[in-house]
Amino acid sequence: MNFKLKYVLIFLFASTIIFANTQKPVYKTGKILKIVKINKNLFFTGLKNRGLFKINENNTKTRILSDKKIIINIYENKGKLNIETSDGNYLYDGFKLNKVKNDSLKIKQTEKKIYIRKNNVWLKISPDNNDIYYAPRIKDNLVLFSGVKAGILIYNINSKTTTFISKGVDASFSDDGKKVTFAKVYDNGETYTGSEIFKYDIKSKKLTKVISKENNTINRYPYLYKNILYFNKNFNIYQLNLNGE
SS (H, E, C) 85-127: ECCEEEEECCCCEEEECHHHCCEEEECCEEEEEECCEEEECCC
When pLDDT is averaged across residues 89-106 and rounded to a whole number, the result is 84
What pLDDT is attached to residue 7? Answer: 44
Distances (CA, A) of 156 to 120, 197, 202: 18, 24, 11
When pLDDT is averaged across residues 126-147 and rounded to a whole number, the result is 95
104 band by pLDDT with thresholds 50, 70 and 90: low
When pLDDT is averaged across residues 114-129 and rounded to a whole number, the result is 93
86 band by pLDDT with thresholds 50, 70 and 90: confident
Looking at residue 149, the DSSP 8-state letter turns out to be T
pLDDT digits (tens, 9 = 90+) for 172-201: 999 999 999 999 999 888 888 899 999 999
Any idea what the Cα angle at residue 134 is, between residues 218 and 220, rounded to 5°?
15
Q: What is the pTM of this model?
A: 0.87
Distance in angstroms (rounded) separating the CA atoms of residues 130 and 113: 10
Distance in angstroms (rounded) separating the CA atoms of residues 58 and 26: 12
Strand, helix or coil for residue 210: strand
172 strand-pairing partners: 181
Which of 7-21, 74-88, 138-152, 217-231 is the least confident region? 7-21
When pLDDT is averaged across residues 134-160 and rounded to a whole number, the result is 95
Q: Which residues have a Cβ under 8 Å from the Cβ of 109 and sit 6 or more positions away?
A: 72, 73, 84, 115, 133, 134, 135, 136, 145
What pLDDT is attached to residue 102? Answer: 67
When pLDDT is averaged across residues 24-35 and rounded to a whole number, the result is 95
Residue 55 predicted with pLDDT over 60? yes
Please name the amino acid found at residue 33: L
Residue 210 predicted with pLDDT over 80? yes
Instruction: Provide the mean pLDDT of the chain.
Output: 89
When pLDDT is averaged across residues 218-243 and rounded to a whole number, the result is 96
Q: Tell which residue, 99, 141, 137, has the closest CA to residue 118.
A: 141
